Amino acid sequence: MVQFFAIQSLKGRIVFVSQARGRYSAAPCPRNTGLLPAMPVRLRKFIGAIALFVLVAVWALLAMAVAQFPAIRDNAVLSVLYYVIAGLGWILPAMPLVSWMSVRQSGS
């Protein structure tokens, strides 16, 4: 059985020492250390708006290309069903992006 010992490093982080693997940090991810500053809300919304424009443009181009498939183009019922699904389908990938844009950081 491997034993772990928790010690505090000179930088103030908690570092675990094990007999088997040596030292490793308890928080290797920069998000967990608090070293990165929070992104300003205006910058977050600007990046999200650009990403939404790109998403809608790419989605529209792909939807127009797929609409020209003979199976969709020649069948009226399938064509209407496709346009309803393709017209509303961009909302699913946009939802996480919009929720990321609207999240407020605790520091801002």
Q: Which residues contact 47 (CB under 8 A, 6 or more apart)?
A: 101
101: part of which helix (H) or strand (E)? helix 91-102
d(CA 106, CA 2): 38
User: Which pLDDT value is given to residue 40?
Assistant: 87
Does residue 85 have a pLDDT over 70? yes
Does residue 19 have a pLDDT over 60? no
d(CA 52, CA 10): 44
What pLDDT digit, counting tens, does each position of 37-76 carry? 678 889 999 999 999 999 999 999 999 999 999 999 999 9
d(CA 80, CA 59): 17
Report yes or no on whether pTM surpasses 0.85: no
